[in-house]
Structure 1
């Protein structure tokens, strides 16, 4: 009886004790993460994954006399958004430097000048990587980014923004490939001989990609150059999807359902991009990220400034500095609401919802207008990762967004090229 009485009294106490321990364990396991802990976790992920930015117009800076990529530049003083020290500060492992040539006269003289300027920028990037070989390396293939990362170096890839420097000579595509170019944006803000722009005031000219442009796409497929449809009108996107034997990319474009800009991509396009196996790289350009209230006076002043400017390639260093100052003055006089990291991840959320986690990436457009509150230059790109972690993205998903998806497409483009060349030689 005594033993039974002892058990009768003790068992409920044991149950209460065990229950209390479980409650404490559960409480510990479900402890709410503080903001500081979240940021530290995000920074660890950011450092661990390959971070790849697919679009910067930095070569325009690199041809300026005296501009040194090895020096840290103050973006507020110089306007520069990328250099090697700031890539290191932001833990940005790899970047595509796009040789950008503004659209000019489409004749032999114009094409010759465009080609010369394009090659000058490409050569400036190559020379810079050679001078700073302890910190960076020229990358030509997908795996080069990972190899350079292991060496503690930044990977520098080459692209071309605007197919204008190809002119009417298809052989130029191979020339640029041999120089290291691994994607070409078919068109920019005005129509060219390859394709129609989304923003040409004269409207469509070719109905999408021209007959010559289709040959360029075919040559890009043969060589292993990614076809970039950013800046093209909607018809260019649909034509590229049909023409290209390899997945395509949008190196710096956003979601039109989130921000109604004609440079952004519709949900139908996003779904087709997923079917194609391609990737859309989010850009940090404010007008593509958030709706701004109409400001006719500001728009008119900006248009007048652009219409009166010389082609950038023909400007002196002083003229470029004066142009930047003019744009800065207009922005200060007619301020627009800022775009933020929240806007960036709103677009990522939408693209993931429509196209899936395997079809979105990052292409900041630094030194080409990109730079927002929180991601003003290359030193701040980790703030994107922090916001992704805050919204519940896993390390695996963040790795895909920051580089894995683009690298996958890059490999598939090369595989298609290998197959085409094998068939040609058979």
Structure 2
């Protein structure tokens, strides 16, 4: 008797499953259309990519579509247009080197050269891209049907020991400084190095104050936990994490734990969700890949002090490793899991997107700028409203930028200096 009753029940359950799958499939075109509308109308800004590292290759053309080519570049003008990316912060990145007079001078020179390379590309492609310096520039440039290019200095190392260089780099267009990178510098301790300053150094305090005075956002990505809390305490304006994830979902020191997320929210700041796979999801062991990358770092001196020819060769060999020893990547769904967690922990007004494209960023389903709409689609599928998605894509970041600018204007006024 049990068998006779079980058969119709199983058939009913199978029929219900078919109906459920069919209903989901019927909804997909509607969700795709809805996500496309939201993405097109939102002002979309990526707070961190390392594309300027490609500008040191004189054969590189930012107006060329690099999808499917090797070595792979993940952000270019066609990709930004295809992915509906209205603006991006281009990182002037300088890897940490020797902290002596010679090392500091070399870092300063490298940074200035990268600023110059960005400026050359802005002029070369002025019909498609435009320099952005203030929060209001992004919308204006979007209305001109161009892409807004902001600049951030990744690693305060090029400042050397001279706080006056903060103003120099501000004058060149930098609107945030990532205080350090993967190793300690004279400003603060790194999240991936030993304790040296126990947070932010005395010199670092001067740097933060100078950034506040000028209107530069303080970027806490890469810095140690203690340095993070020091930055919150010292900065007179909200801080940003330009490319970081939630440590609760991926236990990496580069990510922010829940207490840090709550502190960031209380500070009024924003964490820009990074889509570099290793920070989204703990990677599966891949010893051959790790060994190959370690050997390449050793071969090219940690990619420091290289000529253009050497850097181009190193870049090709580095990306070749991806083809020889491919990594199992995190997915767009994993990225959205982080956004969900950050929203639950810190609130919807404290999360954004900072891909780290061309610096290692890229996940399955969002491998380059042309696929950024897939993040919006995943958020729509999870029930995020158009207003919430607009907050994530730019409004939260621009709010912090406006508050930073406002503080600088107020400081200048009280200092007796008239600003425009």
Give the alignment partner of residue 235 of structure 2, picking from 213, 234, 244.
Answer: 244
* Per-residue deviation, residues 13-50 of structure 1 (Å, max 9, x unmatched): xxxxxxxxxxxxxxxxx999621111111011101010
What is the rounded CA distance, in whole Å, between the counterparts of 2:370 and 2:170 in structure 1? 30
TM-superposed deviation, 1:139: 0.4
1:220 to 201, 204, 211: 211
Match of 1:194 in 2: 187
Partner of 2:45: 52
Matched residue, 1:370: 361
Q: Does the 8 A contact of 1:282 with 1:361 survive in 2?
A: yes
- Is 1:258 aligned to residue 249 of structure 2? yes
Cα pair 1:270 1:355 within 8 Å, conserved: yes
- Tell me the C-alpha RMSD between the 2 structures: 1.8
Larger mean CA deviation between 124-133 and 406-415 belongs to 124-133
Q: Is the 8 A contact 2:71 2:319 kept in 1?
A: no
- Superposed, 1:120-159 pairs within 5 Å as 120-159=113-152
Query: Corresponding residue for 1:24?
Result: none
**Structure index of larger Rg:** 1
Secondary structure in structure 2 of the residue aligned to 1:425 = coil
How far apart, in 2, do the equivalents of 1:166 and 1:317 lie?
Answer: 23
Q: 2:178 aligns with which of 182, 185, 188?
A: 185
1:229 to 203, 213, 220: 220
Contact 1:104 1:311 in 2 (8 A): no
Q: Is the 1:279–1:359 Cα contact (8 Å) retained in structure 2?
A: yes
Q: Note closer, same or farther for the CA distance 1:293–1:86 as it changes in structure 2 (3 Å cut).
A: closer
Structure 1 CA distance, aligned partners of 2:111 and 2:84? 28
TM-score by length of 2: 0.90
Distance 1:157 1:299 in 2: 33
Please name the residue that 1:66 is paired with. 59
Structure 2 unaligned residues grouped into runs of 5+: 1-22
Q: What secondary structure, in the 3-state scheme, does the structure 2 residue paired with 1:77 have? A: coil
Structure 1 residues 248 and 230: alpha-carbon distance in aligned structure 2, compared to 1, 3 A threshold: same
Q: State whether residues 75 and 81 of structure 1, in contact with CA within 8 Å, keep that contact through their aligned partners in structure 2.
A: no
> Does residue 404 of the first structure (1) align with residue 395 of the second (2)?
yes
Specify whether residues 357 and 66 from structure 1 end up closer, same or farther in structure 2 by C-alpha distance, changes over 3 A only.
Answer: same
Q: What residue number does 1:384 align with?
A: 375
Change (3 A) 1:176 1:40: same
Q: Distance in 1 between matches of 2:142 and 2:284?
A: 43
